[in-house]
């Protein structure tokens, strides 16, 4: 079953939000440790990219469930 465009947009938005939250967290931690805005921004950007690629890769590895929700799986 193909994904609808709305579902793809929702998952893309989720990936971006999770990546942004992780990047903001790392950026705040690094800034608190070194007090250097450029270094904190660099670490935040790297974290954003790594988390986005990681989540996207994991999402590609998951198989879509094509079973009918009205039928039991073990029958």
Q: Tens-digit pLDDT profile for the chain (75 aa)? A: 455 566 666 789 999 999 999 999 999 999 999 999 999 999 999 999 999 999 999 988 987 777 888 888 776
Q: How many CB atoms lie within 10 A of CB 31?
A: 16
Listed residue (3, 61, 4, 51) closest to 23, CA to CA: 51
Helices assigned H by DSSP within the chain: 5-34, 37-61
Six token digits for residue 59? 């999402």
pTM (2 d.p.): 0.76
């Amino acid at each position: 079953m193909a994904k609808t465009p709305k579902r793809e947009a929702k998952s893309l938005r989720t990936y971006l939000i999770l990546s942004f939250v992780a990047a903001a967290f790392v950026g705040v931690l690094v800034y608190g440790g070194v007090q250097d805005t450029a270094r904190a921004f660099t670490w935040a950007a790297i974290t954003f990219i790594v988390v986005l690629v990681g989540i996207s890769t994991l999402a590609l590895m998951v198989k879509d469930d094509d079973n009918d929700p009205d039928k039991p799986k073990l029958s």
